[in-house]
Protein backbone atom coordinates (compact mmCIF):
# COMPACT_ATOMS: atom_id res chain seq x y z
CA UNK A 1 0.00 0.00 0.00
CA UNK A 2 1.26 3.47 -0.88
CA UNK A 3 0.31 6.27 1.50
CA UNK A 4 0.89 10.03 1.29
CA UNK A 5 1.02 12.11 4.47
CA UNK A 6 0.96 15.87 3.86
CA UNK A 7 2.48 18.27 6.39
CA UNK A 8 0.53 21.05 8.14
CA UNK A 9 -1.52 22.89 5.50
CA UNK A 10 -1.47 26.64 6.15
CA UNK A 11 -4.28 28.76 4.72
CA UNK A 12 -5.18 29.33 1.10
CA UNK A 13 -1.58 29.02 -0.20
CA UNK A 14 -1.38 25.59 1.43
CA UNK A 15 -4.68 24.49 -0.04
CA UNK A 16 -3.56 25.71 -3.45
CA UNK A 17 -0.29 23.74 -3.13
CA UNK A 18 -2.23 20.58 -2.25
CA UNK A 19 -4.55 21.04 -5.22
CA UNK A 20 -1.66 21.51 -7.67
CA UNK A 21 0.32 18.57 -6.29
CA UNK A 22 -2.55 16.10 -6.16
CA UNK A 23 -3.73 16.96 -9.66
CA UNK A 24 -0.39 15.61 -10.86
CA UNK A 25 -0.08 12.45 -8.78
CA UNK A 26 -3.25 11.64 -6.79
CA UNK A 27 -3.72 8.33 -8.58
CA UNK A 28 -0.33 7.10 -7.34
CA UNK A 29 -1.56 6.83 -3.74
CA UNK A 30 -3.98 4.44 -2.11
CA UNK A 31 -4.45 6.59 0.99
CA UNK A 32 -3.90 10.34 1.51
CA UNK A 33 -3.76 11.89 4.99
CA UNK A 34 -2.97 15.52 5.87
CA UNK A 35 -2.67 17.66 8.96
CA UNK A 36 -5.27 20.40 8.58
CA UNK A 37 -5.32 22.33 11.86
CA UNK A 38 -4.31 25.58 10.08
CA UNK A 39 -6.25 25.27 6.82
CA UNK A 40 -8.70 28.14 7.44
CA UNK A 41 -7.01 31.52 7.34
CA UNK A 42 -3.85 30.11 8.87
CA UNK A 43 -5.39 28.82 12.07
CA UNK A 44 -8.29 26.46 12.75
CA UNK A 45 -10.67 24.56 10.49
CA UNK A 46 -14.00 25.36 8.84
CA UNK A 47 -16.40 22.99 7.15
CA UNK A 48 -16.01 24.77 3.81
CA UNK A 49 -12.24 24.46 3.59
CA UNK A 50 -12.25 20.88 4.90
CA UNK A 51 -14.72 19.92 2.18
CA UNK A 52 -12.45 21.65 -0.32
CA UNK A 53 -9.52 19.48 0.74
CA UNK A 54 -11.61 16.31 0.66
CA UNK A 55 -12.58 17.20 -2.91
CA UNK A 56 -8.89 17.26 -3.86
CA UNK A 57 -8.53 13.63 -2.78
CA UNK A 58 -7.52 13.77 0.89
CA UNK A 59 -9.15 10.95 2.85
CA UNK A 60 -8.39 11.96 6.46
CA UNK A 61 -7.53 15.27 8.14
CA UNK A 62 -5.64 15.24 11.43
CA UNK A 63 -5.15 18.30 13.63
CA UNK A 64 -3.45 19.60 16.75
CA UNK A 65 -3.52 22.41 19.31
CA UNK A 66 -5.19 24.85 16.87
CA UNK A 67 -8.12 22.58 16.08
CA UNK A 68 -10.56 24.70 18.14
CA UNK A 69 -9.48 28.12 16.86
CA UNK A 70 -12.48 28.46 14.52
CA UNK A 71 -15.51 28.04 16.75
CA UNK A 72 -17.68 26.60 14.00
CA UNK A 73 -15.66 23.36 14.36
CA UNK A 74 -18.00 22.53 17.25
CA UNK A 75 -20.93 22.51 14.81
CA UNK A 76 -19.62 19.69 12.62
CA UNK A 77 -16.70 17.79 14.15
CA UNK A 78 -18.94 15.20 15.85
CA UNK A 79 -20.52 14.28 12.50
CA UNK A 80 -17.39 14.41 10.34
CA UNK A 81 -15.43 11.26 11.10
CA UNK A 82 -12.79 12.10 8.48
CA UNK A 83 -11.49 14.79 10.84
CA UNK A 84 -9.51 13.79 13.93
CA UNK A 85 -8.68 15.91 16.97
CA UNK A 86 -5.94 14.90 19.43
CA UNK A 87 -6.99 11.74 21.26
CA UNK A 88 -5.61 12.80 24.66
CA UNK A 89 -8.07 15.64 25.25
CA UNK A 90 -10.37 14.94 28.24
CA UNK A 91 -13.29 12.56 27.96
CA UNK A 92 -16.33 14.36 26.59
CA UNK A 93 -14.37 16.58 24.22
CA UNK A 94 -16.17 16.84 20.85
CA UNK A 95 -14.91 14.76 17.95
CA UNK A 96 -12.77 11.63 17.89
CA UNK A 97 -9.04 11.08 18.27
CA UNK A 98 -8.76 7.90 16.25
CA UNK A 99 -10.74 6.00 13.68
CA UNK A 100 -10.58 2.98 11.42
CA UNK A 101 -11.16 3.73 7.75
CA UNK A 102 -11.80 1.54 4.73
CA UNK A 103 -10.15 3.35 1.83
CA UNK A 104 -9.76 1.87 -1.65
CA UNK A 105 -10.10 -1.62 -0.24
CA UNK A 106 -7.56 -1.10 2.57
CA UNK A 107 -8.39 -0.94 6.29
CA UNK A 108 -6.31 1.75 7.96
CA UNK A 109 -6.25 2.96 11.55
CA UNK A 110 -5.29 6.60 12.14
CA UNK A 111 -4.48 8.12 15.54
CA UNK A 112 -3.91 11.81 16.31
CA UNK A 113 -2.25 12.84 19.58
CA UNK A 114 -0.81 15.98 21.15
CA UNK A 115 2.54 16.17 22.91
CA UNK A 116 2.85 17.65 26.40
CA UNK A 117 6.33 19.21 26.47
CA UNK A 118 5.86 23.00 25.97
CA UNK A 119 2.24 22.19 25.07
CA UNK A 120 -1.08 21.67 26.86
CA UNK A 121 -1.16 19.51 30.03
CA UNK A 122 -3.31 16.77 28.53
CA UNK A 123 -3.43 13.06 29.31
CA UNK A 124 -0.25 11.08 28.66
CA UNK A 125 -0.04 10.57 24.89
CA UNK A 126 2.14 7.47 25.27
CA UNK A 127 -0.35 5.54 27.36
CA UNK A 128 -3.38 6.86 25.48
CA UNK A 129 -2.01 5.89 22.06
CA UNK A 130 -0.94 2.44 23.23
CA UNK A 131 -4.45 1.71 24.51
CA UNK A 132 -5.98 2.59 21.14
CA UNK A 133 -3.36 0.65 19.18
CA UNK A 134 -4.43 -2.50 20.98
CA UNK A 135 -8.05 -1.86 19.95
CA UNK A 136 -7.19 -1.08 16.33
CA UNK A 137 -5.01 -4.21 16.02
CA UNK A 138 -8.18 -6.29 16.22
CA UNK A 139 -9.20 -4.83 12.84
CA UNK A 140 -5.99 -3.97 10.99
CA UNK A 141 -2.21 -3.91 11.33
CA UNK A 142 -1.91 -0.72 9.29
CA UNK A 143 -1.79 2.11 11.85
CA UNK A 144 -0.62 5.68 11.23
CA UNK A 145 0.08 8.03 14.15
CA UNK A 146 0.19 11.82 13.76
CA UNK A 147 2.07 13.00 16.84
CA UNK A 148 1.59 16.76 17.03
CA UNK A 149 4.33 17.88 19.40
CA UNK A 150 6.88 20.62 20.02
CA UNK A 151 9.84 18.81 21.56
CA UNK A 152 12.06 16.72 19.32
CA UNK A 153 12.95 14.46 22.24
CA UNK A 154 9.28 13.67 22.93
CA UNK A 155 8.69 12.81 19.26
CA UNK A 156 11.73 10.56 18.99
CA UNK A 157 10.79 8.83 22.24
CA UNK A 158 7.30 8.20 20.84
CA UNK A 159 8.80 6.69 17.69
CA UNK A 160 10.85 4.19 19.69
CA UNK A 161 7.98 3.53 22.09
CA UNK A 162 5.67 2.56 19.23
CA UNK A 163 8.30 0.81 17.10
CA UNK A 164 6.92 -2.55 16.04
CA UNK A 165 3.41 -1.59 17.18
CA UNK A 166 2.35 0.81 14.39
CA UNK A 167 3.20 1.37 10.73
CA UNK A 168 4.33 4.98 11.12
CA UNK A 169 4.86 7.76 13.62
CA UNK A 170 4.69 11.07 11.75
CA UNK A 171 5.63 14.22 13.65
CA UNK A 172 3.78 17.47 12.96
CA UNK A 173 3.47 20.98 14.48
CA UNK A 174 6.84 22.74 13.98
CA UNK A 175 6.29 23.41 10.24
CA UNK A 176 9.94 22.65 9.40
CA UNK A 177 10.66 19.37 7.65
CA UNK A 178 13.38 17.33 9.36
CA UNK A 179 15.87 15.14 7.51
CA UNK A 180 15.73 12.18 9.89
CA UNK A 181 13.23 9.93 8.12
CA UNK A 182 13.97 6.28 8.83
CA UNK A 183 12.58 2.80 9.31
CA UNK A 184 12.99 1.85 12.96
CA UNK A 185 14.04 -1.66 13.98
CA UNK A 186 10.41 -2.67 14.51
CA UNK A 187 9.60 -1.78 10.88
CA UNK A 188 7.89 1.46 11.89
CA UNK A 189 8.44 4.49 9.66
CA UNK A 190 9.43 7.64 11.53
CA UNK A 191 10.11 11.34 10.90
CA UNK A 192 10.37 14.02 13.58
CA UNK A 193 8.44 16.57 11.53
CA UNK A 194 6.90 16.19 8.10
CA UNK A 195 6.96 19.96 7.58
CA UNK A 196 4.53 22.54 6.23
CA UNK A 197 2.47 23.05 3.09
CA UNK A 198 1.95 26.71 2.23
CA UNK A 199 3.82 29.90 1.36
CA UNK A 200 7.55 29.27 0.94
CA UNK A 201 8.63 32.89 1.46
CA UNK A 202 7.31 33.08 5.01
CA UNK A 203 7.94 32.31 8.67
CA UNK A 204 6.07 29.06 9.21
CA UNK A 205 3.41 30.25 6.75
CA UNK A 206 3.06 33.72 8.31
CA UNK A 207 4.14 37.03 6.74
CA UNK A 208 7.80 37.61 7.56
CA UNK A 209 7.59 41.27 8.62
CA UNK A 210 4.86 40.59 11.14
CA UNK A 211 6.88 37.89 12.86
CA UNK A 212 10.06 39.98 12.80
CA UNK A 213 8.18 42.91 14.38
CA UNK A 214 6.97 40.61 17.15
CA UNK A 215 10.53 39.53 17.93
CA UNK A 216 11.86 43.09 17.81
CA UNK A 217 9.19 44.70 19.99
CA UNK A 218 7.86 41.82 22.11
CA UNK A 219 4.47 43.52 21.76
CA UNK A 220 1.23 41.80 20.71
CA UNK A 221 1.17 41.39 16.94
CA UNK A 222 -1.58 40.22 14.62
CA UNK A 223 -0.31 37.49 12.28
CA UNK A 224 -1.64 36.85 8.80
CA UNK A 225 -1.00 34.16 6.20
CA UNK A 226 1.82 34.95 3.78
CA UNK A 227 0.63 35.16 0.20
CA UNK A 228 3.72 36.48 -1.57
CA UNK A 229 6.10 34.35 -3.62
CA UNK A 230 5.95 30.64 -4.32
CA UNK A 231 4.19 27.82 -2.55
CA UNK A 232 5.53 24.49 -1.34
CA UNK A 233 4.36 21.09 -0.26
CA UNK A 234 6.07 19.04 2.44
CA UNK A 235 5.01 15.41 2.79
CA UNK A 236 6.22 11.86 3.17
CA UNK A 237 5.44 8.86 0.99
CA UNK A 238 5.13 5.54 2.80
CA UNK A 239 5.08 2.03 1.41
CA UNK A 240 3.46 -0.40 3.84
CA UNK A 241 3.03 -4.17 3.77
CA UNK A 242 -0.70 -4.77 3.87
CA UNK A 243 -0.68 -7.99 5.88
CA UNK A 244 1.85 -7.15 8.60
CA UNK A 245 1.52 -3.36 8.62
CA UNK A 246 5.31 -3.12 8.45
CA UNK A 247 6.73 -0.02 6.79
CA UNK A 248 8.93 -0.79 3.81
CA UNK A 249 10.04 2.73 2.93
CA UNK A 250 9.61 6.40 3.80
CA UNK A 251 10.57 9.16 1.35
CA UNK A 252 10.36 12.90 1.95
CA UNK A 253 8.60 15.27 -0.45
CA UNK A 254 9.79 18.89 -0.53
CA UNK A 255 8.54 20.59 -3.70
CA UNK A 256 8.28 24.29 -4.47
CA UNK A 257 6.21 25.80 -7.25
CA UNK A 258 5.68 29.38 -8.45
CA UNK A 259 2.67 31.24 -7.19
CA UNK A 260 -0.49 30.65 -9.23
CA dist 183 and 249 (Å) reads 7
Exposure of 82 by Cβ count < 10 A (0-12 exposed, 13-18 middle, 19+ buried)?
Answer: middle
Considering 59, 66, 148, 175, which one is annotated as catalytic?
A: 66
Is 66 one of the catalytic residues?
yes
* Measured CA angle at 251 (ends 250, 257), to 5 deg: 150
Residue 241 CB: number of other CB atoms within 10 A? 14
CA dist 60 and 5 (Å) reads 10
Phi and psi of 97, rounded to 5°? -100, -10
CA dist 67 and 247 (Å) reads 29
Residue 114, SS3? strand
Q: Of 7, 71, 80, which is closest to residue 231 (Cα–Cα)?
A: 7
Phi and psi of 44, rounded to 5°? 90, 180
CA dist 85 and 105 (Å) reads 25
Q: Of 66, 76, 16, 4, which is closest to residue 37 (Cα–Cα)?
A: 66
Question: 120: part of which helix (H) or strand (E)?
Answer: none
Q: Are 5 and 193 a contacting pair, CB within 8 Å?
A: no
Residues that are catalytic: 66
Amino acid sequence: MKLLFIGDIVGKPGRRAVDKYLKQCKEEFDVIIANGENVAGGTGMTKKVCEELFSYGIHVLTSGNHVWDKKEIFDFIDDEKRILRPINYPEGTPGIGYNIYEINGYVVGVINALGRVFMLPLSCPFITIKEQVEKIKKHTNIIIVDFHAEATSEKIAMGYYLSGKVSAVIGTHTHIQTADERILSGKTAYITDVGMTGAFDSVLGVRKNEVIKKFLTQLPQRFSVAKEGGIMINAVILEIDVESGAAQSIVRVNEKTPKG
